[in-house]
Structure 1
Amino acid sequence: MLLQQLINGLTLGAVYTLIALSFSLVMGILGILNIAIAELFMLAGFIGITALMAGLPFPLALAAGIAGATVASVVIKFVAYDPVRSSPVITPLLTTLGCSIIIQNVVVNYWGSNPLQLPFEFLGERLRYGPISIGSMQILVMATSVASVAVLGFMIQRTRIGRGLRAAAENRDVARLLGVSAERLTIVAFALSGVLAGIAGVLIGMHYAAITPYVGVETGLKAIAVMVVGGVTRIWGALLAGPLIGIIEVMTIAHGGSQIRDLVVYGLMILILLIRPQGLLGGRSSDTGQRV
């Protein structure tokens, strides 16, 4: 049914949005694509499910996953970004790619290569409205994602740190001259990206009651597509493109089969970029205005 698929698509899109925002934050402030974010998402899922299996309540399991992803993200900043910050853009991309491979191998060696599955379905209750069935976990995923985006938006628009992030995104050199600490904002950008990836990882792991060491690659690529479609450094663009990509993917699977979902999603991304290279909410190519 159409409404049922829309709900499923919005759930998936909520996760894509969080990861895309994680990419956009680092891209907007530092101008680099942190490939390791996809594996931070996966790492948080493993930590969250492990914590839940150990008997911890959901809030603590979520906090553990977020903490793990955030700490790993800040470590990546020091070991993979700081030493090459003055190098060409391709260099930090490659160093973060190396970090993503390391994280994946650490997870495989610690948890194994098989999916980590919950012995029970977390929040398995379903609410039914006629032919429409909404899982309690789906509601939790969407509600948490909306709340996370709202908190992020408030922080960026209304707090001193947020103003610093926006100033650095617009012009880092001018922001530094005005007394904005580039080092502190860099740490904040990496930490926030870890928080968002951590929330997404724990939520998706609990939603499917399982997670694999290889989920980060596929989900990360979809999140990058969301970021590009919405406008590379526009966080509100990700908020629009995430549900759009999620709905399109679910509709494609429902009506065309899973074999062509990637063809449709990435084909749409290419089409949008051909028509509007700056993304749905991106400014003109010459516009250097507010990016976050």
Structure 2
Amino acid sequence: MDILTFMQQMVNGFSLGSMYALIAIGYTMVYGVLRLINFAHGDIMMVGAFLAYTFMAVFDLPFPLTVLLAVTISASFGMFMDKIAYKPLREAPKISLLITAIGISFFLENAFTVFLGGVPRAFPVPEYMENIFNVAGVTFSFASIMVPIVTLFLLMGILYVLYKTKYGMAIRALSFDIKTVNLMGIDANTIIALVFGLGSGLAAVGGIFWAINYPSVEPMMGVLVGLKAFAAAVVGGIGSVSGAVVGGFIIGFTEVVVIAFFPELGGYKDAFAFIFLILVLLFKPTGIMGEDLEKSRF
């Protein structure tokens, strides 16, 4: 592989990995607080993408306003989902929460299939997002370069909230002991809802960028993407926000490199992400940036 091809794959890997990272952050934040793998998280990404499609294709809203509305509604939906499905099970065994998460995932996928149909719909990508640039022989679209920039910007925003605000302090305290936090006068349910809102908003951003880079939306689009984002969160160290981003980049690069070096294995690219996950867990069960969750979180 020559240096030009390598640089091209680097750009592709950064773009793909950034989308996984945006979704993985939501997985790791919810797990850090509730020890819950929210398997409905990938479907929140699908909801965000469909909302953006509706606002642009049906209401003809400008892209910036579309993103703002889709992210806000998705965040509100995530908080609503916590209130009706997870909050009543706070004291229940963790397996009950896990089964509930899987049930919500199936419900969303089938509800969207029934009411909107299972046929993929073309996403109305803004023209400027499709602009192609060529730098020293490496070509990339405006959208592909925007995704890593937005991801890093949002990562800094999340880290600022976690470590520089009272809400972030409450989130980190909550991740250690919910009952003690309640005794200190903090409404744990409000903080948990905030975590779901932040994670769902990031998933919606990931879904919108996914729909732009692979311009179509359909009810099952979040299934495999959500599983890979979960793998990214585990690879990076579930419970670590920065680790989720690192894991997203690693999974994205793994997919791209496999296709670049072994084109004949392109049909198996999805499997390589999970093979890499297994290898990481064999040698470092806490993930690359993970730590003992009894000592540190986020």
Shorter-chain TM-score above 0.5: yes
CA deviation after TM superposition for structure 1 residue 76, in Å: 1.3
Match of 1:117, as an amino acid? Answer: A
Distance 1:266 1:37, change over 3 A: same
Segments of 5+ residues of structure 1 without an aligned counterpart are: none
Residues 105-124 of structure 1 show CA distances to partners (whole Å, capped at 9, x for unaligned) of: 22222322111103556411
Tell me, in whole angstroms, the C-alpha distance in 2 between the residues paired with 1:279 and 1:12: 20
2:66 is equivalent to residue 61 of structure 1: yes
Contact kept, 8 Å, 2:123 with 2:217, in 1: the verdict is: no
Contact kept, 8 Å, 1:127 with 1:136, in 2: the verdict is: yes
2:19 is equivalent to residue 19 of structure 1: no
2:109 is equivalent to residue 104 of structure 1: yes
Aligned partner of 1:93 in structure 2 is 98
Tell me, in whole angstroms, the C-alpha distance in 1 between the residues paired with 2:226 and 2:29: 15
Match of 1:100, as an amino acid? Answer: S
Tell me, in whole angstroms, the C-alpha distance in 1 between the residues paired with 2:173 and 2:228: 29
Find the residue that maps to 1:277 and give its secondary structure: coil
Pairing of 1:46-195 with structure 2 (within 5 A): 46-53=50-57, 54-118=59-123, 122=127, 123-195=129-201
Match of 1:47, as an amino acid? Answer: L
Contact kept, 8 Å, 1:77 with 1:187, in 2: the verdict is: yes
Aligned partner of 2:268 in structure 1 is 260
Tell me, in whole angstroms, the C-alpha distance in 2 between the residues paired with 1:235 and 1:120: 30
Residues 154-201 of structure 1 show CA distances to partners (whole Å, capped at 9, x for unaligned) of: 111100100100111133233333332211111111111111111111
Tell me, in whole angstroms, the C-alpha distance in 2 between the residues paired with 1:253 and 1:107: 32
Tell me, in whole angstroms, the C-alpha distance in 2 between the residues paired with 1:63 and 1:27: 26
Match of 1:222, as an amino acid? Answer: K
Query: Alpha carbon RMSD of aligned pairs, Å?
Result: 1.5
Tell me, in whole angstroms, the C-alpha distance in 1 between the residues paired with 2:74 and 2:120: 19
Match of 2:43, as an amino acid? Answer: E
Aligned partner of 1:240 in structure 2 is 246
Aligned partner of 1:275 in structure 2 is 283
Contact kept, 8 Å, 2:55 with 2:61, in 1: the verdict is: yes
Match of 2:19, as an amino acid? Answer: V
Aligned partner of 1:225 in structure 2 is 231
- State percent identity of aligned pairs: 28
TM-score (normalised: structure 2)? 0.93
CA deviation after TM superposition for structure 1 residue 265, in Å: 1.3
Tell me, in whole angstroms, the C-alpha distance in 2 between the residues paired with 1:21 and 1:116: 27
Tell me, in whole angstroms, the C-alpha distance in 2 between the residues paired with 1:120 and 1:58: 9
CA deviation after TM superposition for structure 1 residue 255, in Å: 2.4
Find the residue that maps to 2:130 and give its secondary structure: coil
Segments of 5+ residues of structure 2 without an aligned counterpart are: none
Contact kept, 8 Å, 2:133 with 2:140, in 1: the verdict is: yes
Contact kept, 8 Å, 1:46 with 1:116, in 2: the verdict is: no
Match of 2:131, as an amino acid? Answer: E
